[in-house]
Structure 1
Amino acid sequence: MEFGVLGVVEAWIDGRPADLGHSRQRSVLGVLLVEAGRPVTPDQLIDRVWGERAPQRAAGALYSYLSRLRRAVAGAEDVEIRREPGGYLLTVNPQVVDLHRFRRLMTTARSAETDRSAAGLIEQALGLWRGDPFAGLDTPWMAAMRRTLLGERFAAELDSNDVLLRLGRHGELLPSLLAAVAEHPLDERLAGQAMLALYRGGRQADADEQYRRIRRRLADEMGSDPGAELRRLHEQVLAADPALSVVAGDVRAPAGPVTMAPATVPAQLPADVRAFTGRTGELSALDRLLEPLDGGEPPLTVALLCGTAGVGKSALAVRWAHRVREAYPDGQLYVNLRGYDAEQPVAVADALAGFLTALGVRGPEIPPGTDERAARYRSELTGRRMLVLLDNASSVEQVRPLLPGTGSCLVLITSRDSLRGMVAVDGAERVNLDLLPLPDAIGLLRKLIGPRVDRDPDAAAALAAACARLPLALRIAAELAAERSDVPLPELVAELGDHQMRLDLLDAGGDPRAEVRAVFSWSYQNLPEGAARAFRLLGLHPGETAHVDAVAALIGARPGETRRLLDVLTRASLVQAGRGGRYGMHDLLSAYAAELAEGNDSEADRRAAVTRLFDHYLTSATVAMATLYPDGAAAVPAANGDPGATAAAGDPDTARAWLEAERPNLAAVCTNGAAHGWHRHAIDLAGTMFRYLDAGGPVAEAATVTASAVAAARAVGDTEAQARALSNLGRLHRRQGRLPEAAETYRQALRLYAELGEPEAEALVLRNLGSVDWRRGDYRQAAEHYQRAGMLCQELGDDDGRADAVVRLGLIDARLGDGKQAAERFGTALDLYAALGDRFSEAYVLSLLARLPHHPVPLEQAEAHLDQSLAAVQRAGDRTAEAYVLTDLAAIHVRQGRLAEAAAHLRRALVLLRRIGDRASEAEALNDLGQVLHAVGEAAEARAQHGQALMLAEDFGDRYEQARAHDGIAAASGDLGELDPARAHLDLARRILAELEVPADQSRWTPSIQSTVTGQPRARA
């Protein structure tokens, strides 16, 4: 018997496929195959097969699935599914499971004696892949495991490239290398392989351009430079180094495994700390946490670093995390929770959204609620070895939802609080950080100041004591001492003592930060006035880091002068310089700077500074949006010499890079502005950014920003802005699959537009509200909304809006079985669009007519219109519209009998829909592709596509697409001779359609054999 998970989950007995049942049952087998030889508990099986959507009777269903699977494998030798004390166990020879055979072959290849042997083994390993792992199965655990396995395949492909390059096969390898580079433009190992192949093919200039291309992308998107290895290869290419020539014959493989590039994984740790000193005892205590435990699966390891502000918790955590990161090859996650920032602590929901985005979860798939996000986060980490650093936590409540659910991960937490609950309930191991021992404190000063410490040991000891032996204070004092190298150390210590006394007189409240504030004060008092003012105002910035252009706006200076002032602050260790012209501050310093600003700068000056900053962000964002979307209606403000606006302009790639880099700050401006009186900035910036966030930003973040605009509009009584923000928020809810919330938000917007007397906006919201009802299967209510919208548009003379409403009504007619009425409505819309000269919409309506059964349509005309539309949207870079046009073209090609072309268009559309996160349209395209594949006789692949569509539609709540998926699975199962599953899925399809009042006796555009359920065109709403 043989088993496969590297594609559709399958099993073969004596070369014949075994009946493994429906998708949930296959999911159970998939889990057991991955864990072959290891028991899996019932709770683990339920979590991996259903995720958070497990039904109440999941245990009973699981038992039933296992019983059927036992019968399916009963005819095979040495294969058994049995219950043991630790759970359910699949006993099987790992070499009959393609996943384990793949891994064994790759292990052997990486230690092969010759490259020819390695090449053959890798070829065998990659030949086992039949598609994406667990195709058609899309639970959170399956999705996470799929990403892990695809990473392993990518690593194998990279290893194969290295071997083939050493064998001199660069010519045959080059086309696939260039295609892979286009798909993975930031992978340095892949870029180096392409450079080498180009160079060996006599294309030195192209190899040079390949390097320059990845260098630009790394700088723009990551703020980094290529690594040393790639830079060295580039130098060899430019120098035509003979070492790059192919060595004749079979090159011996290096001893040991071939160096393997890791799969794309999060690597979010901050840079290690310069001149780190001491803490050997604490580092040893942390090391002991990694010692293996006896017994079964280890519990989750949670390390807790506690201590007062400035004691060096974050520095120690980052230092140790870098030391042990190799033990966690699946990546490192990091978040500064800013738990002690009274204004901007990071909400748990936002931290989870950031982690999910880093783990590859698409924006629309990020759940709306905190609990749901935490569950998805735990599912994503299942089976991964990852390190999670939670910095500056303030409470157990801020941390607990961020804990993984697997012992394969390590969590490192820093906090000023002891977080007793983490120790008592979650088993955290606490390591308390005290002040640095005096010898270590002096040692840190020695590293930073140099021999002066040894020349005046008493003064050095006094300086360490004055800094309370806190690393942060020691670093600041050392920088000031280094800056004033001509002043004897005893004099500097005496000067600091004077500042300490003054602060003690001013603050006798026992504040534990008083001593470190003395050091801050000492350093601050030695700043030139311009730098001192810049430092104070930096405390007012709402984000974690700021670009020099933003700082220039905040302090009201030119960029050149701003850079000079920031250099002064950097040398004083009061700010940290980052990549790409960005600067940040320690949270204690930020709080101290804000305190100074309140005491030294008038309220009018502080408000003017923040207003300049918010103006800068609003102006620059508007310029960037106008560059990225030149068809937008918003007027572009004058830059007025703002360098940030200039930086955001230029070509669309530049604008997109600026928006992406500044997105956290833009979001902070919206939320901060709404909360502290800059309501107009919050409203305008949220509205300006909406199209960008809606198209490519995390949907959860877009919803937070848009909700802040709703609150700001309510605060100032701007009903029109509130209605507009509510309408945008409704769309975001709809994309997240939160259909009830979307409907309620649209209703609020509708009421406000009715009060304002804005019938055109009212008609648009009615159409959008109808689209929610359409998705929920309430076609009668949707039709009422569309009819009202159509009448409003007719009264207004808005032929475009009227045509849209008519199209939507036609879609309802088609779905409810009235093809004649649908054709008439589509004809009316076609005439309206023709009069408007809207050829894009004409093409869409023609594709809808082509989907109607037996309706005569000039297919060549429809195809020509769609080809023109496709070219236009591709030029504009509109991926959403491109995906829609491709699905429309597929419908035309089906009517023309060009099924292979239809399938190709649908596959391309699916790639785009997944990138943009359009889950509803993805489900429809999957069902369409399944129908086409079934029509050409690929029943197994058709069933896999319908299975994926079913899971998406169930998550999204689209009952009609569920019916289509069930019908497609029934048809494919019937063709494969699996009549019981076919009948079961067919019954489900008919039951859903009966509930929706959709007739089940229409023919669809690719009719199935086993079923009469119809497939109709989707709504563009």
Structure 2
Amino acid sequence: MSCGTGEGLMDIWAPIAGLAVIIGIVAGIVQILQYLQERRQKKRQPIAEEVIASSPPAPAIPSNLPPRGEFIGREKEKVRVREALASRWPLTCIDGIGGIGKTALALEVAGECLRASKGEVPANGMPTFDGFVWTTAKDRELTLNDVLDAVARTLDYPGIAQQPLEEKQESVRKLLQSKRYLLIVDNFETVKDDAVRDFLLRLPEPSKALITSREQKLRQAWAVSLKGLEQTEALTLIRSEGRRLGLVSLEKGEERVLLRLHKATGGAPLAIKWAVGQIKQKGQSLDTVLAALHEAKGDIFEEVFARSWSLLSEEARCVLMVMPIFAASASRAAIEAASDVHHYALDEGLGQLVEMWLVEATDALDAAKRRYNIHPLTRSFARARLSESETFEREARLRWAIHYIERCSDMGRWGYTPGFPWLEAELPNLLAVMEWANRAQGWDTVTSIFVHLYYFLGTRGYWQERIKYGQMALKAAEQAGDRSSAAVCRHTLGWILLRQGKHVNAEELLQSCIRSWIDLGQKKDAAQAMITLAKIAVVQGDLDQAREVIDEATRVVGDAGYEAVAHGLLTTQGHIELRSGNFEAARTLLLRALEATQRRGSRVSVGSRQIDLGNVALAQNQLDEAAPYFESGLESSRQFLRQDNIAKAEFGLARVHALRGNTSRAAELALSAREQFVRMDMEYEVTKVDALLRQIGNKAGTETINGQAADMSAF
């Protein structure tokens, strides 16, 4: 009975139990679905401050920074980037030409900040952040949506990435406002979505943005502009790459050889690595690689310049193509003349080139003083483009030469001292015009430029250039049959050779130019050449010959009243009396010469006469009178950078200090003078300085030192 009753109960409860199991499973599924739905809705809701605050802690320092490679140099630039990131400035831009190392610098500084943020190294002023987000526009089109997604996923808020763009932007903004994050955008110049720019400019505190760009368009950013590596940095990189690739010739190569690669690449790290790779992978010689860089051959130029060239306006292309014509930096006026692009179009073209780092500009506020230059790689690229248009190049070079001829003509025959700063800035370009005109057999251009340059070259101590280009101009004048210009060239060469102690050659040149000027009736020029010839006799100690030449020069000019000739006659007569030991007569003549040159306003010659009077006083052991003359002569000579007279004044003061027993100061001045004399190949003066240095060491008597004064005149 009981067994029957139990079986009945089991029959009743079995279906009920099965049903309960089914209901339990269904309920469980419902709960799971409900949980997932709630989680989905939670993630789709706009993020709020309290949500962020209550969210589970993310990894200590979230980061998606790419791996860092070896980094060399750029210590100053790293300091500047760190300074920007530590400031209140929200946006920092590392800009520069392609391949100059912008991305590497951004990654290096970000990596250092990451290590400091993790506590792996002491911060020591290094900016620290709660997270690092790296995005790049290289080889892809980067939009604001891409940037926002990168932020959300890197900082471990994947739900934000699922939101509509407008909500996503607000959520990311609040996220960046909640903690101090660093957002990096690489290759910003290729970003076409203006919303990215707007977002970065409105980045909330305390987060920061760091971008790299080949263009200088973000004026609101803290700019860190990159140029080529310094020589020591470039050498380190070349040797490091040589070691990495097993190129012992580069790893252990001579510095002078490796510096050729630095010069050709302008210190651009990408170009250096490309060049080393060519040597390794293709077995090319260094000379072959350097030639390829010079001629803009190789895929590196496509990588660095192709996109930029495609974006340039026609006017900007014309400006860029004329830049290699200039041997050094150029003024706006010179670029305008060569390119034939004018006014607003020129401003726009230059502006575009500067923004894209194809042309570099100095920061002078005065447009007339601003200079423009290009990186060596850009020069090679632009030169290759220029060579593709023979007509444009020929016309551009002609306009370029005419510009400099006209500008020189404004200065008169010799140039004038107020124009020296312009001549200094433009000297490489003026010499380049001479080189080009000489190759093109433009003889008049060669002589015209040199006639306006030689006084400046002599004054500023560019004596080797005066000799080289004086010889070039002499040949050009002879080719053109221009006897007067040929005589000018001979006189200028004789002037230099006299000061270098090459008296025989100097005398031959001077005799020739005197004959030419006499034949041409140019008495003033002939007399001045005679005065120079007389100075050779003074230096050689043939004072009678010197007097005869001075008398002949006086007869040639008669009573014409040429002030420059009268000054030269007085000066040379004073030198003759000084060498003769007639000190009072020498003083009288040289004082008259000083007064004459002061009346003429020739401030460069004033320094020469002051040094002469210092030598007269020193020869008489009148140290208290000699010192002020030498000091005044030194000051005057430094004002116009008259290099030979600077050295002569320093040598005069060295002798004064030696006689006063101040041997330390004497040696210091003597060594400074010697350095200048050696540079200008003034062998006679070098021997005099060496003798003084020996006498200082041996504590020589006053007679020996005083005796040097009579033959150290400042011509």
What TM-score comes out, normalization by structure 1 length?
0.37
* Cα deviation, residue 590, structure 1: 3.9
User: Which amino acid letter does the alignment assign opposite residue 682 of structure 2?
Assistant: F
Residues 527-558 of structure 1: CA deviation (Å, up to 9, x unaligned): 7655565566666x253554332222123231
Residues 309-347 of structure 1: CA deviation (Å, up to 9, x unaligned): xxx995595328999xxxxxxxxxxxxxxxxxxxxxxxx
Instruction: Give the Cα separation in 1 of the matches to 2:697 and 2:684.
Output: 23
Cα distance, 1:1017–1:708 mapped onto 2, change above 3 Å: closer
Find the partner of 1:616 among 403, 409, 412.
Answer: 403
Aligned length in residues: 462
Question: 1:381-392 counterparts in 2 under 5 A?
Answer: none
Find the partner of 2:331 among 544, 547, 568.
Answer: 547
Question: 1:437-586 counterparts in 2 under 5 A?
Answer: 470-479=299-308, 483=311, 530=315, 541-567=325-351, 575-579=358-362, 580-584=370-374, 586=378
Task: Give 5+ residue unaligned stretches, structure 1.
Answer: 1-268, 274-278, 292-297, 324-390, 393-411, 421-429, 436-466, 484-526, 631-651, 831-840, 846-864, 983-1007
Question: 1:715-864 counterparts in 2 under 5 A?
Answer: 715-736=479-500, 738-794=502-558, 801=565, 804-805=568-569, 808-809=572-573, 811-816=575-580, 819=582, 823=585, 842-844=591-593
Find the partner of 1:903 among 624, 627, 636.
Answer: 627
* Cα deviation, residue 720, structure 1: 0.8
Q: What is aligned with 1:597?
A: 389
Residue 389 of structure 2 aligns to a residue whose secondary structure is helix
* Cα deviation, residue 730, structure 1: 2.5
Instruction: Give the Cα separation in 1 of the matches to 2:652 and 2:263.
Output: 53
User: Which amino acid letter does the alignment assign opposite residue 558 of structure 1?
Assistant: H
Cα distance, 1:624–1:815 mapped onto 2, change above 3 Å: closer
Find the partner of 1:956 among 670, 682, 695.
Answer: 682
Instruction: Give the Cα separation in 2 of the matches to 1:1011 and 1:925.
Output: 14
2:473/2:489 contact within 8 Å kept: yes
* Cα deviation, residue 938, structure 1: 2.5
* Cα deviation, residue 589, structure 1: 3.0
Cα distance, 1:747–1:619 mapped onto 2, change above 3 Å: same
Instruction: Give the Cα separation in 2 of the matches to 1:899 and 1:468.
Output: 66
Residues 850-893 of structure 1: CA deviation (Å, up to 9, x unaligned): xxxxxxxxxxxxxxx69xx88x89xx693552353266268569
Question: 1:225-244 counterparts in 2 under 5 A?
Answer: none
Instruction: Give the Cα separation in 2 of the matches to 1:924 and 1:471.
Output: 53
Instruction: Give the Cα separation in 1 of the matches to 2:506 and 2:615.
Output: 31
Residue 582 of structure 1 aligns to a residue whose secondary structure is strand
1:733/1:741 contact within 8 Å kept: yes
Find the partner of 2:651 among 920, 926, 932.
Answer: 926
Task: Give 5+ residue unaligned stretches, structure 2.
Answer: 1-225, 231-235, 363-369
Instruction: Give the Cα separation in 1 of the matches to 2:645 and 2:263.
Output: 46
User: Which amino acid letter does the alignment assign opposite residue 582 of structure 1?
Assistant: Y
1:886/1:909 contact within 8 Å kept: yes
* Cα deviation, residue 613, structure 1: 1.9
Cα distance, 1:592–1:570 mapped onto 2, change above 3 Å: farther
Cα distance, 1:471–1:801 mapped onto 2, change above 3 Å: closer
Q: What is aligned with 2:444?
A: 680
Find the partner of 1:881 among 606, 618, 621.
Answer: 606
Instruction: Give the Cα separation in 2 of the matches to 1:624 and 1:553.
Output: 19
Q: What is aligned with 1:629?
A: 416
Residues 40-72 of structure 1: CA deviation (Å, up to 9, x unaligned): xxxxxxxxxxxxxxxxxxxxxxxxxxxxxxxxx
Residue 667 of structure 1 aligns to a residue whose secondary structure is helix
Instruction: Give the Cα separation in 1 of the matches to 2:335 and 2:708.
Output: 60
Instruction: Give the Cα separation in 1 of the matches to 2:514 and 2:537.
Output: 15
* Cα deviation, residue 470, structure 1: 0.8
Instruction: Give the Cα separation in 2 of the matches to 1:582 and 1:885.
Output: 40
Instruction: Give the Cα separation in 2 of the matches to 1:313 and 1:802.
Output: 50
Cα distance, 1:942–1:775 mapped onto 2, change above 3 Å: farther
1:946/1:966 contact within 8 Å kept: no
* Cα deviation, residue 966, structure 1: 5.8
Residues 958-1013 of structure 1: CA deviation (Å, up to 9, x unaligned): 48x9689969977x889x6xxxx77xxxxxxxxxxxxxxxxxxxxxxxxx478996
* Cα deviation, residue 301, structure 1: 4.7
Cα distance, 1:289–1:568 mapped onto 2, change above 3 Å: same
2:316/2:352 contact within 8 Å kept: yes
Residue 327 of structure 2 aligns to a residue whose secondary structure is coil
Cα distance, 1:877–1:477 mapped onto 2, change above 3 Å: same
Cα distance, 1:791–1:968 mapped onto 2, change above 3 Å: farther
Residue 341 of structure 2 aligns to a residue whose secondary structure is coil
Instruction: Give the Cα separation in 1 of the matches to 2:317 and 2:666.
Output: 68
1:930/1:968 contact within 8 Å kept: no
Cα distance, 1:770–1:288 mapped onto 2, change above 3 Å: farther
Residue 271 in 1 paired to residue 256 in 2?
no
Cα distance, 1:786–1:416 mapped onto 2, change above 3 Å: farther
1:617/1:666 contact within 8 Å kept: yes
Question: 1:1-40 counterparts in 2 under 5 A?
Answer: none
User: Which amino acid letter does the alignment assign opposite residue 268 of structure 2?
Assistant: V
Cα distance, 1:762–1:569 mapped onto 2, change above 3 Å: same
Instruction: Give the Cα separation in 2 of the matches to 1:742 and 1:675.
Output: 28
Percent identity, please: 17
Cα distance, 1:767–1:1016 mapped onto 2, change above 3 Å: same
2:437/2:445 contact within 8 Å kept: yes
Residue 510 of structure 2 aligns to a residue whose secondary structure is helix
Residues 181-208 of structure 1: CA deviation (Å, up to 9, x unaligned): xxxxxxxxxxxxxxxxxxxxxxxxxxxx
Residue 663 in 1 paired to residue 530 in 2?
no
Question: 1:404-423 counterparts in 2 under 5 A?
Answer: 418=285
Residues 809-828 of structure 1: CA deviation (Å, up to 9, x unaligned): 453355245x49x94x987x
Residue 228 of structure 2 aligns to a residue whose secondary structure is coil
User: Which amino acid letter does the alignment assign opposite residue 473 of structure 1?
Assistant: E
1:286/1:303 contact within 8 Å kept: no
Residues 128-171 of structure 1: CA deviation (Å, up to 9, x unaligned): xxxxxxxxxxxxxxxxxxxxxxxxxxxxxxxxxxxxxxxxxxxx
RMSD of aligned C-alpha atoms? 5.6
Structure having the higher Rg: 2
Instruction: Give the Cα separation in 1 of the matches to 2:345 and 2:519.
Output: 51
Residue 1016 of structure 1 aligns to a residue whose secondary structure is helix
What TM-score comes out, normalization by structure 2 length?
0.51
Cα distance, 1:948–1:557 mapped onto 2, change above 3 Å: closer
Residue 388 of structure 2 aligns to a residue whose secondary structure is helix
Q: What is aligned with 2:72?
A: none
Cα distance, 1:570–1:774 mapped onto 2, change above 3 Å: same
